[in-house]
C-alpha cells in the first residue's frame, strides 16, 4: 500500500534524523473536536471513555475509507472504516480491525477530504498520570487535553531524545534535547528549537518521540 510505505519511510526518517468541558460530580467530562486535513494527520485521543477506548467507540463514524495507523516496535498496524459492513449492510459502518486509542498514545489518521473533524468524548484524566515511553521510536501525546510546551506538560526528556513534529506534506521538524548547552554549559539543558525552549504542541496533537532508553512521561494533573 502506498500510504503504508509512506508511513514506514517517515518512521525510518525519524529514526535516522539528528475544548469544552462540563463538570459531573468530582469528574470532568466533555469533548475535544479536532479538525483534520486531507491526507495524513498525527493526532491523539486525550479523553478516557472509561470503556477501554476501543476505536469503534472513540471514533464511531468517519468518512468511508478513513484509515488509522498505529506504530509499535518498528511497524504500523491499520484499521479502516467501512461505511457499510459487507457482511451486514443494515448494521451501518464498521472498522476493519480492533484498536485501542488510549490517551497518551498517538496515531495517524488518513482522511480523503478536508473539512473533516473527529470528536473525542470522555473524562479528563486526573491525579498521578504515567505514560510509558519505550526505547527507540514511538508516537506519544499529552494524556490530558491541554496545549503547551512539552516540559510544561510534564515531559522530562533525556539527553539526545528527539521530538519529530509532523507538518503534513512538508514532512517533519525535528528537535533534540541536549542535557548541556555546548555554548553555555552552566545553563543546563536546551532544545534545538529557535528559542532553545521545549517544542509546543496543540490539544490533541501527537509527535514521534525518539528515546535513548525506556522512560515515563509522568504528570500530576487536577482540574480546579
DSSP code string of 178-212: ESS-TT-GGG--EESSTTSSPPEE-TTB-EEEEES
CB neighbourhood size of 192 (10 A): 14
Residues 56-96: tens digit of each pLDDT: 999 998 999 999 999 999 999 999 999 887 777 766 789 99
Between 16 and 138, name the one with better pLDDT: 138
Residue among 177, 107, 172, 98 at smallest CA distance from 139: 107
Rounded CA gap, 134 and 180, in Å? Answer: 23
pLDDT, residue 11, reads 58
pLDDT, residue 18, reads 42
Confidence of residue 26 (pLDDT cuts 50, 70, 90): low
Sign of CA dihedral 167, 170, 172, 173: negative
Residues in Cβ contact with 139 at an 8 Å cutoff, skipping those fewer than 6 apart? 42, 44, 70, 71, 105, 106, 107, 108, 206, 207, 208, 209
Which stretch of DSSP H or E encloses residue 55? helix 55-58
Instruction: Describe the chain by its helix, strand, coil percentages, rounded to 5.
Output: 10, 45, 45
Residues 149-189: tens digit of each pLDDT: 999 999 999 999 999 999 999 999 999 999 987 777 766 79
Percent of the chain with pLDDT over 90: 72
pLDDT, residue 181, reads 78
Average pLDDT, whole number, for the chain? 88
> What is the pTM assigned to this prediction?
0.87
Which stretch of DSSP H or E encloses residue 57? helix 55-58
Rounded CA gap, 206 and 44, in Å? Answer: 6
Residues in Cβ contact with 58 at an 8 Å cutoff, skipping those fewer than 6 apart? 45, 49, 101, 120, 122
Q: Cell triple for residue 77?
A: 498496524
Amino acid at each position: 500500500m502506498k500510504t503504508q510505505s509512506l508511513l514506514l519511510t517517515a518512521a525510518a526518517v525519524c529514526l535516522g534524523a539528528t475544548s469544552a468541558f462540563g463538570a459531573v460530580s468530582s469528574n470532568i467530562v466533555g469533548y475535544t473536536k479536532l479538525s483534520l486535513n486531507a491526507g495524513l494527520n498525527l493526532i491523539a485521543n486525550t479523553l478516557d471513555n472509561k470503556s477501554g477506548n476501543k476505536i469503534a467507540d472513540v471514533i464511531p463514524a468517519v468518512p468511508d475509507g478513513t484509515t488509522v495507523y498505529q506504530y509499535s516496535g518498528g511497524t504500523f498496524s491499520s484499521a479502516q472504516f467501512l461505511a457499510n459492513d459487507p457482511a451486514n449492510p443494515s448494521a451501518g459502518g464498521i472498522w476493519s480491525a480492533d484498536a485501542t486509542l488510549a490517551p497518551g498514545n498517538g496515531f495517524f489518521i488518513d482522511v480523503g477530504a478536508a473539512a473533516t473533524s473527529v470528536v473525542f468524548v470522555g473524562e479528563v484524566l486526573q491525579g498521578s498520570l504515567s505514560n510509558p515511553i519505550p526505547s527507540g521510536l514511538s508516537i506519544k501525546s499529552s494524556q490530558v487535553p491541554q496545549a503547551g510546551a512539552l516540559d510544561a506538560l510534564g515531559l522530562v526528556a533525556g539527553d539526545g531524545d528527539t521530538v519529530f513534529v509532523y507538518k503534513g506534506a512538508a514532512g517533519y521538524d525535528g528537535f533534540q534535547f541536549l542535557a548541556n548547552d555546548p555554548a553555555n554549559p552552566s545553563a543546563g539543558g536546551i532544545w534545538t528549537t529557535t528559542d532553545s525552549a521545549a517544542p509546543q504542541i496543540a490539544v490533541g496533537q501527537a509527535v514521534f518521540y525518539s528515546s535513548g532508553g525506556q522512560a515515563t512521561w509522568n504528570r500530576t494533573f487536577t482540574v480546579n
